[in-house]
């Protein structure tokens, strides 16, 4: 079988027929040698962005200033990038002054790590100018060229080294690691949006525990927003099942509020909502074991994460297993208001009265009674209970 998807191969063939050079590059080529399943088949080409757009019917400018065009072919999305030299060496701010270059060699030279600087052409020939395959075999993350210079050019690469070590389980080359220690403070100049993308990948890597240790040992942690000084508890929380679990554990082990983490790392609204739930579940868990109200309010993930961190921070306290949490959830009479066998309309009809504030209040009472097993979730039972209850109150 040949490398790439039909559509991505077609993109390269089309570029070549028009007289341009084009190759597969980056993550997909690396992952191919690691027998990892690649999803994004990125292409680098000598063609200019304008040429690329002319050659394909459906294209999207996703970073024309960086020379990247998204080509949509047979429903596939393929990123095609003009050979480039990356950011200018003058500054390390958010301005990405891209310099386009003529050769693949120059493009590869400006990529971050040797394992990411491999290219593969349509004939399956490998272009390995920086001993990338050798480093893949040694399982090493090593910069292309002088690590000090490369990190000065773009400080995010230091964090990328950590995230690749987490995702691939590779070691960081000695000189590369030393340069991270020396340049750690430059991470301050990197935008939080770029940091967030790498942290999300770091959290969910197979070796996140070791990567967190290295982030701390290398001094990078000192320049990450809201990172706990001691990462012992955070490491014990790893591995993480999701990116949000990583953020939640950072929050709880660091003693930060969900709003602080959300702001510092510009989390999305759904991430923010999840963290806020974990925060509240944890607060209630610090007071007592979970009760019916907690099982009712929070999702399984939220309860498990809050319990996990609680047991790590307070190992001597009694704690509940994942199995017990699941069992408690299964035993719940209802999981939400929607599960109630009656609605506000039923109450209005039974009482034959106009709707008003009383409907919500009565529903809340029914909800609580059902939740606590004082009333069966059954239309007739609820009706009787409701009508008698009303009589009692009158």
Residues engaged in binding Mg ion (CB under 5 A): 27, 40
Q: Does 112 bind ligand ATP (CB under 6 A)?
A: yes
Among the listed ranges 45-53, 110-118, 276-284, 359-367, the one in contact with ligand ATP (CB under 6 A) is: 110-118
Q: How far is CA 13 from CA 58, 63, 84, 120, 282, in A?
A: 16, 23, 21, 13, 55
Which 155-214 residues touch ligand ATP, going by CB under 6 A? 156-157, 201
Residue 187 CB partners (closer than 8 Å, separation 6+): 155, 156, 158, 159, 195, 220, 223, 224
Smallest gap from Cβ 111 to ligand ATP, in A, equals 4
Binds 156: which of Mg ion, ligand ATP, none (CB < 5-8 Å by kind) = ligand ATP
Nearer to ligand ATP, 90 or 287 (CB): 90
User: Which one, 29 or 250, has the nearer CB to ligand ATP?
Assistant: 29
Residue 154 interacts with ligand ATP (CB under 6 A): yes or no: yes
Q: Output DSSP code: residue 143.
A: B
151's tokens: 């990190």
Q: What angle do CA 270, 360, 279 make, to 5 degrees?
A: 30
Of 93 and 321, CB closest to ligand ATP: 93
* Structural tokens at position 314: 């307070």
Contact indicator for 218, 180 with CB cutoff of 8 Å = yes
Least distance to ligand ATP, CB of residue 181, Å: 19
Q: What residues from 50 to 109 belong to the interface with ligand ATP (CB under 6 A)?
A: 86
CB of 39 to Mg ion, least distance (A): 8
Closer residue to ligand ATP in complex, CB, 240/296: 240
Candidate segments 52-60, 68-76, 111-119, 228-236, binder of ligand ATP by CB under 6 A: 111-119
Binders of ligand ATP among residues 15 to 34 (CB under 6 A) are: 26-27
Q: For residues 167 and 320, which CB has a smaller minimum distance to ligand ATP in the complex?
A: 167
Number of residues that bind ligand ATP (CB under 6 A): 12
Q: Is 147 in the site for ligand ATP (CB under 6 A)?
A: no
Instruction: Please identify, using beta-carbon distances, which residue of 42 and 346 lies nearer to ligand ATP.
Output: 42
Nearer to ligand ATP by C-beta: 115 or 252?
115
CB of 78 to ligand ATP, least distance (A): 13
SS3 267: coil
Select from 8-16, 151-159, 322-330, 346-354 the region that touches ligand ATP (CB under 6 A): 151-159
Closest approach of Cβ 108 to ligand ATP, in Å? 8
Q: How far apart are CA 49 and CA 15, in angstroms?
A: 12
Q: In this chain, which stretch among 51-59, 154-162, 251-259, 292-300 interacts with ligand ATP, using CB under 6 A?
A: 154-162
For residue 97, give both structure tokens: 């002054």
Distance CA 128, CA 196 (A): 30
Asked if 4 is part of the footprint of ligand ATP (rule: CB under 6 A), the reply reads no
For residues 207 and 240, is the Cβ–Cβ distance under 8 A? no
Tell me which residue has tokens 């570029």. 15
Q: Please report the beta strands in the chain, taking only residues with DSSP state E, as ranges in sequence order.
A: 22-25, 43-45, 59-63, 68-73, 76-82, 119-120, 126-127, 140-141, 171-172
- Shortest Å distance, C-beta 234 to ligand ATP: 22
Q: 27-53 b/e with 16+ CB inside 10 Å = b?
A: bbbbbbbeeeebeebbbbbbbebebbb
Geometric angle at alpha carbon 40, from 35 and 42, rounded to 5°: 105
Among residues 32, 84, 111, 333, the one that binds ligand ATP under rule CB under 6 A: 111
For residues 239 and 206, is the Cβ–Cβ distance under 8 A?
yes
> Is the backbone of residue 226 left (phi > 0), alpha (psi -120 to 50) or beta?
left
Q: Which does 154 bind (CB under 5 to 8 A by kind): Mg ion, ligand ATP, none?
A: ligand ATP
- Nearest residue (beta carbon) to Mg ion: 27
Residues within the interface to ligand ATP (CB under 6 A): 26-27, 42, 86, 111-112, 116-117, 154, 156-157, 201
């Amino acid at each position: 079988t040949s490398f790439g998807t039909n559509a991505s191969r077609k993109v390269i063939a089309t570029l070549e027929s028009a007289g341009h050079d084009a190759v597969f590059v980056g993550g997909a080529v690396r992952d191919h040698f690691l027998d990892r399943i690649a999803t994004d088949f990125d292409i680098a080409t000598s063609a200019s962005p304008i040429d690329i757009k002319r050659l394909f019917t459906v294209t999207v400018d996703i970073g024309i200033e960086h020379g990247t065009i998204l080509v949509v072919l047979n429903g596939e999305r393929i990123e095609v990038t003009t050979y480039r030299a990356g950011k200018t060496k003058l500054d390390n701010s958010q301005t990405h002054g891209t310099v386009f270059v003529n050769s693949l060699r120059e493009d590869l030279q400006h990529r971050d790590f040797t394992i990411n600087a491999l290219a593969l052409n349509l004939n399956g020939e490998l272009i390995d100018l920086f001993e990338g395959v050798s480093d893949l075999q040694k399982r090493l993350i090593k910069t292309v060229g002088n690590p000090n210079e490369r990190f000065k050019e773009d400080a995010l690469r230091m964090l990328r080294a950590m995230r690749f070590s987490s995702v691939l389980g590779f070691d960081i080359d000695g000189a590369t690691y030393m340069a991270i220690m020396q340049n750690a403070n430059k991470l301050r100049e990197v935008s939080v949006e770029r940091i967030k993308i790498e942290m999300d990948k770091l959290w969910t890597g197979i070796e996140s525990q070791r990567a967190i240790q290295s982030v701390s040992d290398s001094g990078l942690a000192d320049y990450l927003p809201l990172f706990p000084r001691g990462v012992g508890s955070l490491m014990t929380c790893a591995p993480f099942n999701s990116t949000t679990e990583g953020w939640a554990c950072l929050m709880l082990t660091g003693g930060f509020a969900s709003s602080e983490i959300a702001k510092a790392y510009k989390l999305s609204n759904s991430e923010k909502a999840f963290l806020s739930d974990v925060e509240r579940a944890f607060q209630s868990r610090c007071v007592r074991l979970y009760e019916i109200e907690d099982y009712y309010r929070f999702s399984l993930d939220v309860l498990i994460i809050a319990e996990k961190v609680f047991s790590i921070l307070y190992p001597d306290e009694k704690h509940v297993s994942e199995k017990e949490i699941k069992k408690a959830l299964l035993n719940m009479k209802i999981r939400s208001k929607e599960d109630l066998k009656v609605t506000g309309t039923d109450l209005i009809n039974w009482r034959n009265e106009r709707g008003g504030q009383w409907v919500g209040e009565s529903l809340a009472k029914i909800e609580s009674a059902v939740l606590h097993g004082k009333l069966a979730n059954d239309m007739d039972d609820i009706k009787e209970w409701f009508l008698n209850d009303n009589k009692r109150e009158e």
